[in-house]
Amino acid sequence: MPVPEPPFEGILLGAARREGSGGERRTIANPATGEPIASVAEATAEDGDRAVRLAEETFRRDWRRRTPRERAAALHRIAASIREKADALALLECRNVGKPLAAARGEILLGADCFEFYAGAVLGFGGRTVPVSKRGTCLTLREPLGVCAAILPWNFPFAIATWKAAPALAMGNAVVLKPAEDTPLSALALGDLALEAGLPPGTLQVLPGAGETLGAALVAHPLVSKVSFTGSTEVGREVMRRAADGLKRVSLELGGKSACLIFEDADLDRCLPSALWSAFDNAGQDCCSRSRFLVQRSIHDRVLADLEARTRAIRVGDPLDPSTEMGPLITPAHRKRVRSYVEVGEREGARRLCGGESPTDPARARGSYLTPCLFAGARADMRIAREEIFGPVLVAIPFGDEEEAVALANEGAYGLSGSIWTRDLGRALRVARGIETGVLSVNSSASVHLEAPFGGRKASGLGRELGLEALATFSEEKSVFLSEE
Ligand code: NAD
């Protein structure tokens, strides 16, 4: 019997879904089964140019002229539509990315929350009056930038699309979204929803396509005012270099190797179940993953024994099964890369306590599964303790005192997130001040709050997303002086 063609998904350019100008298509596979789920048109650099020109025209003629309340109403309609279609969107994300269905649903609803947050926030986000030394009044205006290119990673495709699109649109910009090659489906669905919700065609366009061609062309396009990029540090550097010629605004949300610090006075009953998932959530494919556990020596062995038991008990399997806790990795190629780090860790002399294997049972053999892996006896100079693995590999390192814990946490190139577990408030504050990251949580594994700024330091990035900061970074502040003379 012939294998049926997977459904076609066109790029969203203007008001219509269509083929890319090069006629190329990419087959998207379900990471849990390897089965093709969609045949997606690839946008070319030429399509990128058309989309940007249309976005610029829509921006000037229409969207920037709408009042904040009109834009907010459109954002509310998008949020309502996301909520209404949450089940279908969650299923789409689950099948495309391999995340457990409940987690996918949570991320879709976070996207609706994000549109609602910015619909409200923009109504209170204005300029200021500034006391100046000339006779008169100086006031500032918050103005949109124009066309913003948003380049997305594959690990949280829908949520991160909304973190960029919602504040940019709220401020009156037009947005061209470029999803990651392997995960374009939920961003395309978001584009459809936005059109249905009455956004003028061209205000939010979605172009799946290759990073090196389409992505690079969007970054360099003279009509693109801002590039909001989430992805690897390596590509982030390239984006910044290319954007420099046009002096574009750039925000970069990049990789991480965050630490979870567990002190001897921590409430372990609260800490361990939560901390475990700060490492393994989304199968460790999370920029904020606490993939390094720094554990005080006096409790080290007890904590590791508990973590090993919990890691072994994680249910890895079909993302559609409600009892599943961890799905597959995004692609077989990515699993191979993560698996190579398990071998690196063993060669470096760390002790693999469990996991790091590809299940061979028939139910999982066709998916890109890898069992969660725990390493003990690691040192800070090992590659597994320094490099971003971006998979379910957790590395534990012991420490003696507070000073050593902070020094270890600051080892390495990255500075994104982290957790501190202690009952001592003074210590929590001292350690929080000492750690060079953009985000931290105390006695919690949270990283993201829509209302708070989010972003990294060092090799983890530049600029902040979310919070009111996102409205600031998607706008320019213009000073206007009114003379009283
Ligand atoms: P990636 O850097 O390979 O790709 C990210 C995006 O950039 C994709 O859409 C890709 O097509 C595009 N791209 C590739 N080359 C390009 C170029 N030359 N010009 C413009 N665009 C280009 O990253 P990935 O593998 O999709 O995602 C994983 C990485 O993302 C990890 O390092 C992870 O830590 C990071 N990430 C960071 C955050 C954060 O908020 N800090 C969030 C999620 C993921």
pLDDT tens for the chain, 485 residues long, are 666 789 999 999 999 999 999 999 999 999 999 999 999 999 999 999 999 999 999 999 999 999 999 999 999 999 999 999 999 999 999 999 999 999 999 999 999 999 999 999 999 999 999 999 999 999 999 999 999 999 999 999 999 999 999 999 999 999 999 999 999 999 999 999 999 999 999 999 999 999 999 999 999 999 999 999 999 999 999 999 999 999 999 999 999 999 999 999 999 999 999 999 999 999 999 999 999 999 999 999 999 999 999 999 999 999 999 999 999 999 999 999 999 999 999 999 999 999 999 999 998 999 999 999 999 999 999 999 999 999 999 999 999 999 999 999 999 999 999 999 999 999 999 999 999 999 999 999 999 999 999 999 999 999 999 999 999 999 999 999 999 98
Same domain, residue pair 225 and 165: yes
CB of 418 closer than 6 angstroms to any ligand 1 atom:
no
CB-side neighbour CA atoms (13 Å) of 201 = 9
User: Hey, which of 235, 251, 337, 338 would you mutate to test ligand 1's pocket, going by the most ligand atoms within 8 Å of its Cβ?
Assistant: 235
Q: Which of 42, 93, 107, 253 is an active site residue?
A: 253
Answer yes or no: do 402 and 470 share one domain: no
Mutate to test the pocket of ligand 1, among 230, 233, 460 (most ligand atoms within 8 A of CB): 230
Q: Is the same domain home to 266 and 148?
A: no
Does residue 183 share a domain with residue 63?
A: yes
- Residue ID of nearest Cα to ligand 1 atom 35: 231
- 3 in any annotated domain: no
Residue with CA at minimum distance from ligand 1 atom 8: 180
Closest CA to 199 of 343, 77, 365: 77
Strand order, beta sheet including 174-178: 16-18, 11-13, 204-206, 174-178, 147-151, 224-230, 249-253, 461-462
Point out the ligand 1 atom lying closest to the alpha carbon of residue 242.
19
- Are residues 172 and 248 located together in one domain of the fold? yes
Q: Do 247 and 264 share a domain, yes or no?
A: no
Taking the C-alpha atoms of residue 405 and residue 331, their distance in angstroms, rounded to an integer, is 35
Q: Which of 94, 271, 287, 373 is catalytic?
A: 287
Q: Are residues 48 and 190 in the same domain?
A: yes
What CATH number has the domain bearing residue 344?
3.40.309.10
Q: How many domains does the chain have?
A: 2
The question of whether 465 is a catalytic residue gets the answer yes
Q: Is residue 454 part of a domain?
A: no
Whether residue 455 is contained in a domain is answered as: no
Please give the number of the atom of ligand 1 that sits closest to the Cα of 152. 9
Is residue 396 included in any domain, yes or no? yes
Coil vs helix vs strand at 126: coil
What is the pLDDT, as a whole number, of residue 337?
Answer: 98
Supply the Cα-derived Rg of the chain in whole angstroms. Answer: 23
Q: Which long-range contacts (CB under 8 A, 24 or more apart) does 441-448 make?
A: 441/417, 443/266, 443/267, 443/270, 443/271, 444/274, 444/419, 445/260, 445/274, 445/275, 445/277, 445/278, 445/290, 445/419, 447/288, 447/417, 448/288
Same domain, 332 and 375: yes
Please classify residue 401 by burial: count the beta carbons closer than 10 Å to its beta carbon, then call 0-12 exposed, 13-18 middle and 19+ buried: exposed
| Whether residue 178 has its Cβ less than 6 Å from ligand 1 | yes
Q: What are phi and psi of 7, to 5 degrees?
A: -60, 145
Q: What is the CATH number of the domain that holds 226?
A: 3.40.605.10
Q: Answer yes or no: is 71 within a domain.
A: yes
Looking at ligand 1, which atom is closest to the CA of residue 210?
A: 11
Residue numbers of the domain that contains 130: 8-254+460-480
In a domain, 375, yes or no: yes
Asked about 388 being catalytic, the answer comes back as: no
In a domain, 1, yes or no: no
Residue 257 a catalytic site member = no
Bridge partners of residue 38, in order along the sequence: 28
Is residue 395 left, alpha or beta, with left meaning phi > 0 and alpha meaning psi from -120 to 50?
beta
Give the residue whose CA is nearest to atom 40 of ligand 1.
Answer: 253
Instruction: Please enumerate in sequence order all residues whose Cβ is within 8 A of that of 342, keeping only pairs 6 or more positions apart, or say none.
Output: 352, 356, 373, 393
